[in-house]
Every structure is written in C-alpha cells, then in structure tokens.
Amino acid sequence: MKYIVLIGDGMADEPCDRLEGKTPMEAAQKPYMNYLASMGVNGLVDTVPEGMTPESDTANLAIMGYDPRTYSRSRSPLEALSMGIEMQPDETAIRANLVALSDEGEPYEEKRMLDHSADEIPTEQAAELIAAVQDALGGNGRTFYAGVSYRHCLIYKDCPEFTDFSRPHDILGKTIRSYLPHRRESAPFLEMQKQSFDVLNAHPLNLRRAAQGLKKANSLWFWSPGKKPSLPPFSEKYGLRATVVSAVDLIKGIGICAGMRVADVPGATGTLDTNYRGKMEAAADALLREGSDLVYVHVEAPDECGHRGELMNKVSAIERIDAEILGPLLKRMNDSGEDYAVLVLPDHPTPIRVRTHTHAPVPFVIYRRTKELPSGFAVYDEESGRRGGVRIRNGFELMDFFLGNH
C-alpha cells in the first residue's frame, strides 16, 4: 500500500466578490481533486490547536501526526536543520526575512512593510545580500545563513531573550513602529535590523532592482527564535518509510527531524513558478522506485499568493497543483498497479481578504483506489469539507485516520 499526502499551503479561503462569491478552491478548474472528492471521504480538520498561532510549522507537524502542543518549538530550528546547520545546545535559530520597507527618507521606525518577500527575491540575489550582511554584522556569536528566496537564518550563540517579535506577513502595508522589538533584552535585534537597512538599501544589487521596477530587499526582519528540535521518527511511529517533497526549508526540516528522506527537486522555489512537474516526478520516484511507502508533497504557491493578495494567481496555483502534480501522479500510480490512498488538504487558510493565516478548520479529502464510494460531492472545496460529515478536532489524529489506524 502506498500513501500520498498533498498539501496546498494556505489553499483554503473565503468567498470572494471577484469570483462571484466563490472561494479560490471552488473557482479553480481542478478535475482531479474534484474526482477524489466525488469518490472519497470529505471532512474538516483543525490543524492548529486552540491558543496556538496558525503557522505552517504548527499545522504541518499536526498533519504529519505530531501534536504541536508537545513538539512545536519554533519554525527557525527546523529550517536550520534543512539548511544543513548543525546547531549546538547554546545556539538559537532565528528566521531572518529579507523584506522590502518603504524608502522615503523617514526614520526606520516610521517605515512601512511593503512586502515580506521583497518581491519574491530570487535565491541567487538573496545569497549575495546575506553575504553582505554577514560581512557587516556577523561575528560575536552571530552567523547569517542564506536560504531560499527571502527566507534566511541567523544562528545566535548565547542569544538574549527575544519574545516580542512580529511576523512580517501579518503587517503588510503597516508602519512598523508598533511591531518592532521594544523590550530591553531584545534591543540587539532592533539594532541589527536598523544596521541591515544601512547595509542593504544602497547595495548595488538593490539599486539595480529598483532601476528594474522591483522592490528593494532593504532590511532583515527577525522572528520565531528557537532551540534545536527533536521528534520521534516517523518510521517508528507508523511503520512506514516516508519522503518529503518541498521547496521550503521549514517543511524539509520537519521531515529531517522526523527521520524522513528529503527529495531534492531542482527549480523548486516556493513561488507560483515552482517546478510542479519536478515535484510530481520526485513523488512518483519515491513511491515506485526508491522504496518509500508515503510521500508528503508540499506546495507553497497558494500561500504566497494569499499573502500577496494575488487572487487570480492563487486560483492558478491551485489549478497547477491539480494539473501538473496530482493528475500525472495519479496516472503513474494507476499504471503501476500499486494500491494507494491519497490525502489532499491545505495546512491552514490564507484568505486573500486578510493576507495572513487564520485559525479556521480546513477541508480534506481521503481517496482510496480500491474503495471508491460516491460521496455526492462534485467539487473539492471548503463546502465539501463542511458537509462531508467527518470532523477531526485534533489535527494530529488525521494521519492515523488516513492510514486506517482509527
């Protein structure tokens, strides 16, 4: 038996006037997801426990079967693991976004958060900027590591307490004063953010970006500190060999921490223009050639479109997941003759209206090739989840439900 988990990050949403009252999931042309919904089990799941922030680390830990209330420490150490950083017990990992702040001569505190992703800066350009930051601000127990696109990591030895951080994707368009570190203990982080602006704003690469009509990646933004994590191996928990397919260091880091194999997909970016076919090929190879029993395929694109307020791009991202990953992967599995089951869901909603994550439960569909049963639903969307009749309150129980261990 083979298992496919397909995550459309942030795919769930709300009805949109521009879509004549439909959600992006409802409006998207996605015949393969719709078929699974028509012949599978539909329901709703709470991936984020009450009282916890609806972040991707929390939600994906739950979907993989780990109770976030026990295992969630912070996303940054998981990202560090994926980047190959060997953390020591006295070190803290901190996410360092390359962001775009307004540049109108105002004091740093009065700048506005234009874009948490600096126009989804290419990884190669970002690496050049992070190298400049390391030269200027590194040392004294601080090391900056370049990641993918705007997502980077600071490793800080004997790190001061840092709890008053804000998530940059939550404050788009806002003046940053009220969201800056303000406690005495976290003063080093505010000072580094200001210094990073001095280093980056006039960097030749950013001047070229501005000349091309792109936003400058002109400041670092620190958030989500945490220590080295630990998870029980997925193989011991479920008796299955698993592979993670993702462009995002966070998801790959969870996989590494859980003892999963992590596939390397060239051209996987975490943006709308990621290598969808490459992810499908990696998933098929893992299941049919490399001995994995389960693949966890994660696609970041719908979430990024939600954060950026790009409605039609979000619809397009969902359609491309369906057409370029799910459809061909189902064909590969059918042609192989292997028995298989599929679980499709978002990890959390990222509604276009608010441009950030919300706590709402998300719709899921479970399809088993040898147990097709008409459900009465023609479309996979938020409504099929609500009306499907299955309600899972503890998200970490979904994996057991999917694998039949319920």
Q: Are 93 and 159 in contact (CB under 8 A)?
A: no
Q: What is the pLDDT of residue 230?
A: 87
Single-letter residue type at 123: T
> What residues of the chain score a pLDDT lower than 50?
406
Exposure letters 283-319 (e unless 16+ CB within 10 A, then b): bbbbbeeeebbbbbbbbbbbbbbbbbebbebbbbbbb
The Cα angle at residue 40 between residues 296 and 38, in degrees rounded to 5: 120
CA 358 to chain centre: 14
Q: What does pTM read for this prediction?
A: 0.85
> What DSSP state is assigned to residue 262?
E
Q: What is the mean pLDDT of the chain?
A: 96
Give the domain ranges of the chain: 2-73+230-403, 91-226
Architecture of the domain whose range is 2-73+230-403: 3-Layer(aba) Sandwich (3.40)
Residues 349, 341: Cα–Cα separation, whole Å: 24
Radius of gyration of the chain (CA): 21
- Return the number of other C-beta atoms located less than 10 Å from residue 115's C-beta: 24
Q: Are 14 and 363 in contact (CB under 8 A)?
A: no
Joined together, the tokens standing for residue 381 give 């969307």
SS3 state of residue 242 = strand
- Return the number of other C-beta atoms located less than 10 Å from residue 399's C-beta: 24
**Cα torsion for 162, 164, 165, 170, to the nearest 10°?**
160
Residues 314, 323: Cα–Cα separation, whole Å: 14
Q: What is the crossing angle of helices 187-200 and 123-137, to 10°? A: 120
Q: What is the pLDDT of residue 264?
A: 93
Q: Phi then psi for 88, rounded to 5 degrees?
A: -100, 160
**243 bridge partner residues:** 261, 295
> What DSSP state is assigned to residue 115?
E
Residues 362, 384: Cα–Cα separation, whole Å: 10
Strand bridging mode 91-101 / 219-226: antiparallel
Residues 267, 388: Cα–Cα separation, whole Å: 37
Q: DSSP string of 26-94?
A: HHS--HHHHHHHHTSEEEEE--S-TTS---HHHHHHHHTT--HHHH---HHHHHHHHTT----TTEEEE
Among 350, 355, 354, 352, residue whose Cα is nearest residue 311: 352
Q: What is the pLDDT of residue 75?
A: 86
**Cα torsion for 219, 224, 227, 230, to the nearest 10°?**
-130
Q: What is the pLDDT of residue 14?
A: 98
Residues 116, 151: Cα–Cα separation, whole Å: 10
Q: What is the pLDDT of residue 406?
A: 37
